[in-house]
Amino acid sequence: STMFLVGLSGGIASGKSTVVAVLRELGCAVIDADVIAREVVQPNSKAHQQILQHFGTEILLENGEINREALGNIIFSQPEKRRLLNSITHPEILKEMLKQVLKYFVLGYRYVILDIPLLFETRGLTKFMKYTVLVYCDPPAQRARLMRRSGLGAAEAEARISSQLPLDEKRKWATHVIDNSGDRESTRRQVLRLHARLKDSLDFLWARLAVGTVVAGLGGLAFLLLRHFIS
């Protein structure tokens, strides 16, 4: 196989969703960590039960789902609570991401994009990526977009932006940067160029997460079959 992994990230209001929309239009395989994060905390899931144990039932909506805004307010002001939540949800998110990587691996995709908001903050997953892509915009545009989108004041918007690693810092770690400071058409042209480069690249890498899991799975299957025939 010639499939490899591409990590995609950005910052709050930097325009990552715009870039993802173009990639999906192009038929790219995109795994959205945010979507998975919502799925793994649905009622009756393992993560849902653990979150209730530590954060209480006051974070629930009437339908039993977790009130993301209420939980977000707790972890935003309490770093230790944020670390606790991450320790509950991250293993479940990673398992689901791995399942989806394997699916695209089997389907024969050239590359898979992992849309991970905190890719550069955690740094743990970057070692599995052949390339990392940052969706960048200049700080004034980022602040203005956040204020317009969320109805926040300047101070509130700045506080939200400051809670993340600055985009200029993330830019140092990315192998590719899409500058979303301009108009949508400019961003689209950059995404098209990136896709063409990735699609035609001859510098391929085995998807180490997928391969490792396949090998482990085959080994486990072989062991079970061997035990069956021996017994």
Contact between residue 22 and residue 226 where contact means Cβ atoms under 8 Å apart: no
pTM comes to 0.80
Q: Could you report the per-residue pLDDT of 165-184, keeping only the tens digit for each?
A: 999 999 999 999 999 999 99
Grade residue 218 by pLDDT with cuts at 50, 70 and 90: very low
Grade residue 207 by pLDDT with cuts at 50, 70 and 90: very low
Minimum mean pLDDT among 30-44, 50-64, 188-202: which range? 188-202
Minimum mean pLDDT among 31-35, 96-100, 200-204: which range? 200-204
Tell me the mean pLDDT in the region 122-151: 93
Grade residue 200 by pLDDT with cuts at 50, 70 and 90: confident
Residue with the larger pLDDT of the pair 215 and 74: 74
Q: Residue 9 pLDDT > 70, yes or no?
A: yes
Tell me the mean pLDDT in the region 19-28: 97
CB atoms within 10 A of CB 159: 12
SS3 sequence, the chain? CCCEEEEEECCCCCCHHHHHHHHHHCCCEEEEHHHHHHHCCCCCCHHHHHHHHHHCHHHECCCCCECHHHHHHHHHHCHHHHHHHHHHHHHHHHHHHHHHHHHHHHHCCCEEEEECCCHHHHCCCHHHCCEEEEEECCHHHHHHHHHHHHCCCHHHHHHHHHCCCCHHHHHCCCCEEEECCCCHHHHHHHHHHHHHHHHHCCCCCCCHHHHHHHHHHHHHHHHHHHHHHHC
Contacts of residue 191, defined as CB under 8 A and 6 or more positions apart, other chains included, come to 19, 22, 23, 26, 178
